[in-house]
Amino acid sequence: MVSLLQRPILIGGLALTAGAGLLSSLDPGIAHFGSTAVGGAIALGTGFWWLKLKSKPAVQPLLPFTPVDSAAVEKAIADVESQINHLTAELEADLPATDTPVFHLRQRLATLVAELKRQEVRLAIMGGRSVGKTSLAQLLQSQVTDGNLSDNLGSNLGLSIQKPDLAPAQTGSDRTISIPTSITAEVENADLVLFLTAGDLTDVDFQILKQLIAKNHRILLLFNKQDQFLPDDRPVILQQMRDRMALLLATEDVIAVTVQPALMKVRQHQPDGTFVEQLKQPTPNIGRLQQRMQHLLTHESQQIIFATLKRQAQP
C-alpha cells in the first residue's frame, strides 16, 4: 500500500478542501474563493510533482556484453584528446603549475592509442574465498605453456587475480555482507573476466557480476568444485545459475568446471588376493572452459580488447 506521505497532491487537496469547507461554514460568501483555491493548489501541486519525477535520473537497464569496434574506441579517444586540449587552453595562464598533470594525461592518451594494436588478451580471475582462483590461474598458465590454448593469448598470459572480501563480517548479533564498492584496476583493465563460484550464486556474487556487466566486461561464470556435490545436484545448481543470469550472460558462458578435484581412494587388488588402497589426484575437468575460451579467442578477441580500451577512455 502506498503511503499518503508519498501522495503530496492527495494530501494537499484534502487539506485545502477541508480548509475551504471550514471557511464556508464561517462565511458562505467565501466558499467560491475556497473552491477556486483548491483547484489552483491541486494544479500547482501536480506541476511540482511532475517536475520532481522528471528530475529523477532514468535507471539504465543492465544489458549483456555489447561488442565494440575500432570506430567506437577511436571516437572515445578523440573525446579524451579534445577534453585534454580544452583543459590545457583553460589553464594556459597557469601552465607551470599544471604542466605535470597535463603531461600525465597525454601519456595515458598515447598508451590508449598504442593499445589499439594490441593482440594479447588479458585475463582476470575473481571470486570469493577458497573457490579455486589460484589453482585455475596455475592450470591455465600450464595450458598456455603446453600449447593447449590459442596463441592469441600471447606469450605472456596476463593473469591478475582479484580476491574481494566476500566473507560475512560479524557485527554484534547481526551478520552483514561486505560488498566491494569498486572493481580493482587489474580487473578493470582485463579483457576477459573468469568469475568463480563454489556453488550457487550468492547475493554478493550477483552484485559484483552486475557491476562488471554494467561496465561492459566480457565474463565467463564458472561453477567450480562441482565434485563436492552429488551427481544429481550438479546440473540443478548449474541451471539455477544460468536462470539467474538469464538475459545478462549467454547459457554457454555459464560453465561447470572442476579445477582441482578432491583426492580419490583407489583400491588395487594384488595377485595374492589382498588389496592396496592409494589416494590419487583425478584429472582436472576444464574441457568446456577451454572450448569456450578458444571460441572467444577466435571470434571475439578484437571486440573484447576494444571494449577494454573504450572503458579505459571513459571518465
Convert the pLDDT of each residue in 219-228 to its tens digit. Answer: 999 999 998 9
pLDDT at position 60, please? 65
Residue 142: all three cell numbers together: 600450464
8 A C-beta contact, residue 192 and residue 121: yes
Q: Which amino acid is at 166?
A: L
Q: How many CB atoms lie within 10 A of CB 194?
A: 25
Of 12, 8, 2, the C-alpha closest to 50 is 8
* 307 vs 189: CA distance, rounded Å: 10
Residue segments in the chain with a per-residue pLDDT below the cut of 50: 1-20, 22-24, 26, 30-31, 33-34, 37-38, 41-44, 46, 48-51, 152-156, 165-181
Please give the sequence-ordered ranges of beta strands (E in DSSP) within the chain, or none if there are none: 123-127, 159-162, 168-171, 174-177, 192-197, 218-223, 254-256, 264-269, 275-280
Task: Output 101-110 pairs: Cβ under 8 A, ≥24 positions apart.
Answer: 109/77, 109/80, 109/81, 109/84
Residue 10: all three cell numbers together: 492527495
The residue count for the chain: 315
pLDDT at position 44, please? 45
pLDDT at position 262, please? 82
pLDDT at position 238, please? 96
Q: Are strands 254-256 and 218-223 parallel, antiparallel or unpaired?
A: parallel
Non-local (6+) Cβ contacts of 35 within 8 A are: 20
Of 245, 194, 213, the C-alpha closest to 237 is 245
3-class state of residue 128 by DSSP: coil
pLDDT at position 85, please? 85
* 140 vs 259: CA distance, rounded Å: 10
The rounded mean pLDDT for the chain is 75
3-class state of residue 199 by DSSP: coil
pLDDT at position 171, please? 38
Non-local (6+) Cβ contacts of 30 within 8 A are: 23, 24
* 242 vs 200: CA distance, rounded Å: 10
Q: What is the dihedral of CA 8, 11, 14, 19, to 10 degrees?
A: -100
Sign of CA dihedral 32, 33, 38, 39: positive
3-class state of residue 1 by DSSP: coil
* 34 vs 20: CA distance, rounded Å: 4
